[in-house]
Amino acid sequence: MEHILLRHRDIPDFNKLNVYKKNGGFAAFKKAVTKMEPTEVTAEVTKSGLRGRGGAGFPTGMKWSFIDKTNWPHYVVANADESEPGTFKDREIMESNPFQFLEGLAIASYAVGANVAYIYLRGEFWQVAAFLDEKIAEMEEAGILGDSIFGTDYSLKIYTHLGAGAYICGEETALLESLEGKRGQPRVRPPFPPSYGLYGKPTIINNVETFTNVPPILSNGADWYKSIGTADSAGVKIFSLSGRVRKPGNYELPFGTTFRQLIYEHGMGVQDGRSVKAIMPAGASSSLIVVDDKVLDTPMDYSSVRTVGSDLGSASVIVLDDTVDIDWVINKTIHFFKHESCGKCTPCREGNYWMRNLTDRIHEGKGSGDDVKLLLNVAKQMQGKCLCALGEFSTMAVVTGIERFPQDFKKKTKA
Amino acid sequence: MSLEKKYPKEVKQILAKYPPEHKRSAVMPLLYLAQREEGYVNKDAMKDIASLLDITETDVASIVGFYTLYHDKKAGKYRMQVCTDLPCALRGADEFLNNLCGNLGIKVGETTEDGLVTLEEVMCLASCDRAPMFQTQGPDGIKYHEYMTVDRTMELIEALKQTEKEAK
């Protein structure tokens, strides 16, 4: 099947403006601006069943329809903070298929009546931001961005903005705080960004991959898009496959592809011919799935992954083979979340500190069975008590690791 | 010299990105600019940015403290930031860092004797399929180095040394 998002893999030089244009580029944006009302664009995206690709899976068109039309100006922000351990798809899109992403961002801006859009990139994507700046300048020169786009009175400016190394800024309200020049700490919601966003103005925030889906939806129609994937998860998804597989990388596949197909057909199986012990389908924020044949044959879509006790999230599939100790895995994830907790909510700030101390002790072989119990207890007490999802996510691997792989902890602890 | 005098074009470009009444948004790009030459933000630069944006020095310092890519202390000319997060660690990042320390004769957090490289351990850099990997943060911005081995890293350091010599 030809790619819908990673089209640069089928067409050489796809990140060049003339090549992109020659292959139908900007036709969707032109159609939207010259032939469609903004609400019609939103309606088409709603009808397509497109859901947010950043992890939460919220219906994109519905989000756009929430924009407050009594308060102006409006903003659109692309979340390019891609920082979930195991996720590396947005970077490939921006590096290799930048125009399709930018076109999607431009269409979204038109749909919600924004004349300014920002791309918030994680600070480490320094080179990617410089590259996007070049591409934006090329679009301005070609009259695709700027004033009087396609001879209409619609105008749009797109700017890049670099973060500086903070996972929390992938959370949409922390991202907005950061973009306003403050520390990236989440806001209390509601109000949600479509009514109170950047500078207190109505703002739509979507993931890079979400925007990249929009041009083909507008060009080929919502019905075409809905015909791909499964009933509750329309279309294609880029699965970032990492860990102990032979061929890690990004794979664009329809929703409903099974774990087995991803790992064995696309990822060429597990290193050294070993077997899969556990899967983390949503990066470090995953509930660990104990792997058996039934799990391997589970379709990867939002509802099916739930039936095996986890969530698809941003579809960053980390494969753990049978040589990996789960106490080591949660030691790694807790070190990550301890470092990335923004410090605003006490349960997350203190909880991660103590979870780190406990998991260090257990991992070093100095812990007892009581330490494991205490670790589980701390994790469970944190759940449901933080403003944003980070606090919750930090407990997922801990709770499911201890409950689903008790033997790994018994092996490591004294009686 | 103030930031505006030193980089007039860049400062103007940065401020143009944001509504004038929300110029505080420029604090992050301005901090990158302030850090460009010496690899860290000194007190004067913080004062300078604060007055440029009509915010307090404490506001600016809180940004420097919150984000890991801003530094308030001098280190090596290049910070070599190795990812040892879970996906990279599953592909040998811990061993890589360990061996690199051995080869360079320094520990994580230390700087080579010539002041060229400070070795650091960082969280996920979104390059999980190309581990072991690291980024270098230096005067020319941030660059990724992927599918790395200790040998290739030593070659990179040699090349950096060479560039230094030629610059002098």
CB spacing of B144 vs A127 below 8 angstroms: yes
Chain centre distance of CA A231: 21
**What's the average model confidence in pLDDT over A187-193?**
95
A84 in contact with chain B, both atoms CB, cutoff 8 A: yes
CB spacing of A124 vs B126 below 8 angstroms: yes
Band of residue B164 on the pLDDT scale cut at 50, 70, 90: confident
pLDDT tens digits for A227-239?
999 999 999 999 9
Contact list, B97 vs chain A (CB under 8 Å)? none
pLDDT tens digits for B84-141?
999 999 999 999 999 999 999 999 999 999 999 999 999 999 999 999 999 999 998 9
Q: Give the integer Cα–Cα distance in Å for B23 and A373.
A: 50
Dihedral sign computed on CA atoms, order B123, B126, B128, B130:
negative
pLDDT tens digits for A8-65?
999 999 999 999 999 999 999 999 999 999 999 999 999 999 999 999 999 999 999 9
Residue B168 clears pLDDT 80, i.e. is over it = no
Environment class of A234 (CB within 10 Å of its CB; exposed 0-12, middle 13-18, buried 19+) = buried
DSSP string, A332-349: HHHHHHHHH--S-SHHHH
**What's the average model confidence in pLDDT over A172-197?**
97
**What's the average model confidence in pLDDT over A298-319?**
96
CB spacing of B87 vs A86 below 8 angstroms: yes
**What's the average model confidence in pLDDT over A325-352?**
96
Band of residue A412 on the pLDDT scale cut at 50, 70, 90: confident
Q: Give the integer Cα–Cα distance in Å for A347 and A407.
A: 28
CB spacing of B142 vs A332 below 8 angstroms: no
pLDDT in the model for residue B71: 97
* Mean of the per-residue pLDDT values of chain A: 97
Contact list, B63 vs chain A (CB under 8 Å)? 181-183
Closest A-chain CA to B85: A332
pLDDT in the model for residue A414: 74
pLDDT in the model for residue A246: 98
Neighbours of A43 (CB within 10 A): 17
CB of A122 closer than 8 Å to CB of A169 = yes
pTM for this predicted structure: 0.97
> What's the token pair of residue B26?
């420029």
| List of domains in chain A | 7-226 (3.40.50.11540), 236-321 (3.10.20.600), 326-412 (1.20.1440.230)
Read off φ and ψ for residue A130, nearest 5 degrees: -65, -40
Closest B-chain CA to A183: B63
| List of domains in chain B | 3-66 (1.10.10.1590), 78-167 (3.40.30.10)
Contact list, A121 vs chain B (CB under 8 Å)? none
Rg of chain B on CA atoms, in Å = 18
Band of residue A336 on the pLDDT scale cut at 50, 70, 90: very high
CB spacing of A180 vs B63 below 8 angstroms: no
Contact list, A87 vs chain B (CB under 8 Å)? 126, 128
ipTM for this model: 0.96
Band of residue A1 on the pLDDT scale cut at 50, 70, 90: confident
Closest A-chain CA to B88: A243
**What's the average model confidence in pLDDT over A264-293?**
97
pLDDT in the model for residue A102: 98
Residues in chain A: 415
Neighbours of A382 (CB within 10 A): 24
B113 CA: distance to closest CA in chain A (Å): 26
> Tokens 């420097």 sit at which residue?
B64
Residue of B57, B66, B80, B133 to mutate, testing the A interface (most A Cβ within 10 Å of its Cβ): B66
Residue A311 clears pLDDT 80, i.e. is over it = yes
**Nearest neighbour of B123 by CB, restricted to A167, A183, A249:** A167
Closest CA relative to residue A287, chosen from A348, A236, A330: A330
A93 in contact with chain B, both atoms CB, cutoff 8 A: no
CB spacing of B123 vs A122 below 8 angstroms: no
Chain centre distance of CA A151: 35
* Mean of the per-residue pLDDT values of chain B: 96
**What's the average model confidence in pLDDT over A403-414?**
92
pLDDT in the model for residue A415: 58
CB spacing of A181 vs B27 below 8 angstroms: yes
**What's the average model confidence in pLDDT over A382-409?**
95
Contact list, A125 vs chain B (CB under 8 Å)? 126
Instruction: Write the DSSP symbol of residue A146.
Output: B
CB of A355 closer than 8 Å to CB of A378 = yes
Contact list, B55 vs chain A (CB under 8 Å)? 181
How many Å from the N-terminal Cα to the C-terminal Cα in chain A?
Answer: 55
**Nearest neighbour of A83 by CB, restricted to B69, B126, B143:** B126
**Nearest neighbour of A184 by CB, restricted to B66, B122, B142:** B66
Residue A92 clears pLDDT 80, i.e. is over it = yes
CB spacing of A240 vs B69 below 8 angstroms: no
Residue of B129, B130, B135 to mutate, testing the A interface (most A Cβ within 10 Å of its Cβ): B129
**Nearest neighbour of B125 by CB, restricted to A124, A130, A333:** A124
How many Å from the N-terminal Cα to the C-terminal Cα in chain B?
Answer: 23
Cis upstream peptide for B132 (omega within 30°): yes
